Amino acid sequence: MRMTVLASGSKGNSTVISSATTRVLVDAGLSCKELLRRMALVGEDPSLLNAILITHEHIDHVAGLAVLARRLRIPVFFTEPTHRAWVRMVTPRTTMTYAKWLNHLQQEKEARAAQTAAVEASAAAQAEAIASISAAAAAACEGLRSDDPNPTLELPVDPDEEACDAAAPAKEKANPAALPAVEYFHAGTNFTIGDLDITPFTIPHDAADPCGFVFHSRTESIRMAIATDLGYMPPNVKAALKSIDVLLLESNHDLEMLRDGPYPWSVKQRVLSRVGHLSNDATAEFLQKDYDGGATYIVLGHLSESNNAPELARLAAEQALTSHPTLLGNRVVLAQQASPLDPICL
Ligand SMILES: [Zn+2]
Ligand SMILES: [Zn+2]
């Protein structure tokens, strides 16, 4: 069995899991073009992928999803709430921008002013306009849909992604949420793709229905797991991560670096919350207290570029492991944001 981490971090996540006969991609958080480039770099043939599995709908996990799935013509596995959240996220919304609202109001105001020369009438219109502007601002803040009959969606067009999508049917290209096939799974319920038994487990994170995965190759008796994007280690995750041979585990931030770092207070609170990300300390605590020591490789992932240093993450994990002499066989590997890791083969 093989795990190839193509990218890991808040700018994009994607990992190939392969058994003798089955290959799946977990998350597609880089552009299609970049995912294909990285697969080529590490000798993973994209045409051999059987499916794409999505952990949750955050952009660092789905950025290249639609284009990649359409290009490879393979099914995408989601939980139903994650699929719905993703569709909402990528479907163009007819939201009127605040600037457009103001412009619209201005035009209305001018039309009214032209109709009446009376000073009183003009003053009344102005008062009404001010009230409308407040309402427009409130509507913009709440993301309300407008009834604008000609909405313009100002999404940046990436020519590389358009080129990747070139072979997709025109009907699909017109719909950003179109996928060749969608399959639903439920957290806590095993499902099978080829010779891979897959156990999705719920993780505590601020998304619709976020999951981690355990992969078990029946033919090889090897188990690999992915657990990133979790605010803390709840009992169900600790239970899921037993008897794992290769474990990709989040080690997102150093608490002091996050505290003193550049993020606004609200973002720091989100990262630190029970539905945010695992700190180096939290990961070390899990490794020291709850981990069974069974993995040949522990891959530390989703490291923050602003609030962590790879050596701090490694040190925290290795110190936790060396407190158990029996765990010295566990090799710690650091997943990267900018480049793929060499495949880890067992
Ligand atoms: Zn993430
Ligand atoms: Zn996330």
| Tens digit of each residue's pLDDT (9 = 90 or more) over 223-239 | 999 999 999 999 999 99
pLDDT at 15 over 90: yes
Task: Report phi then psi at 340, rounded to 5.
Answer: -75, 155
- How many Å lie between the centroid of ligand 1 and the Cα of residue 187? 18
Res 27: pLDDT: 98
- How many Å lie between the centroid of ligand 2 and the Cα of residue 57? 7
Angle at 305 between CA 254 and CA 78, to 5 degrees: 95
Mean pLDDT computed over every residue of the chain: 88
**Residues 6 or more apart whose Cβ sits within 8 Å of residue 334:** 299, 300, 303, 310, 313, 314
- How many Å lie between the centroid of ligand 2 and the Cα of residue 227? 11
Of the pLDDT bands very low, low, confident and very high (cuts 50, 70, 90), residue 174 is confident
The 10 Å Cβ neighbour count of residue 138 is 10
My answer on whether 120 and 83 are in the same domain is no
My answer on whether 137 and 242 are in the same domain is no
- On whether residue 247 sits in a domain, the answer given is yes
Region 3-9: what's the mean pLDDT?
98
Of 16-30, 65-79, 95-109, where does mean pLDDT reach its minimum? Answer: 95-109
My answer on whether 52 and 183 are in the same domain is yes
Res 329: pLDDT: 72
- How many Å lie between the centroid of ligand 1 and the Cα of residue 304? 10
Helix residue spans in the chain (DSSP H): 32-41, 59-62, 65-72, 80-90, 98-115, 119-141, 159-164, 170-173, 235-240, 255-260, 265-272, 280-289, 310-322
**Residue 235's closest CA among 202, 200, 186?**
202
- For ligand 2, an ion, list residues with CB under 5 A: 58, 229
User: Under a CB-based contact definition with an 8 Å cutoff, are residues 226 and 53 in contact?
Assistant: no
- On whether residue 151 sits in a domain, the answer given is no
- On whether residue 149 sits in a domain, the answer given is no
Region 266-294: what's the mean pLDDT?
95
- How many Å lie between the centroid of ligand 1 and the Cα of residue 167? 29
Res 128: pLDDT: 57
My answer on whether 118 and 247 are in the same domain is no
pLDDT at 100 over 90: no
- Alpha-carbon distance of 44 to 48, in angstroms, equals 8
The pTM of this model reads 0.82
**Residue 54's closest CA among 197, 171, 223, 229?**
229
pLDDT tens per residue, range 189-213: 999 999 999 999 999 999 999 999 9
- How many Å lie between the centroid of ligand 2 and the Cα of residue 221? 30
User: Under a CB-based contact definition with an 8 Å cutoff, are residues 224 and 19 in contact?
Assistant: no
Res 122: pLDDT: 60
Which of the ligands is closest to the CA of residue 231? Answer: 2
Instruction: Walk across the sheet containing 246-250 and list its strands.
Output: 191-193, 196-202, 211-217, 222-227, 246-250, 297-301, 331-334
Region 38-66: what's the mean pLDDT?
98
Res 259: pLDDT: 95
- Alpha-carbon distance of 261 to 254, in angstroms, equals 10
CATH number at residue 55: 3.60.15.10
My answer on whether 137 and 269 are in the same domain is no
Burial of 61 (0-12, 13-18, 19+ CB in 10 A): buried
Q: What percent of the chain has pLDDT over 90?
A: 72
- How many Å lie between the centroid of ligand 2 and the Cα of residue 187? 16
Query: Where is pLDDT greater, at 37 or 294?
Result: 37
My answer on whether 107 and 254 are in the same domain is no
Boundaries of domain holding 287: 2-91+159-345
My answer on whether 197 and 54 are in the same domain is yes
- Alpha-carbon distance of 78 to 27, in angstroms, equals 10
- How many Å lie between the centroid of ligand 2 and the Cα of residue 279? 14
Rounded alpha-carbon distances, angstroms, from residue 32 to 23, 91, 243, 262, 271:
17, 18, 33, 30, 28
- On whether residue 152 sits in a domain, the answer given is no
My answer on whether 80 and 130 are in the same domain is no
Report the number of distinct structural domains present in the chain. 2
- How many Å lie between the centroid of ligand 1 and the Cα of residue 102? 36
Rounded alpha-carbon distances, angstroms, from residue 170 to 117, 158, 178:
54, 17, 11
User: Under a CB-based contact definition with an 8 Å cutoff, are residues 239 and 233 in contact?
Assistant: no
pLDDT at 88 over 60: yes
Region 293-315: what's the mean pLDDT?
96
Of the pLDDT bands very low, low, confident and very high (cuts 50, 70, 90), residue 186 is very high
My answer on whether 223 and 285 are in the same domain is yes
My answer on whether 127 and 172 are in the same domain is no
pLDDT tens per residue, range 139-169: 333 333 333 333 333 445 688 898 999 988 8
My answer on whether 122 and 228 are in the same domain is no
Res 25: pLDDT: 98
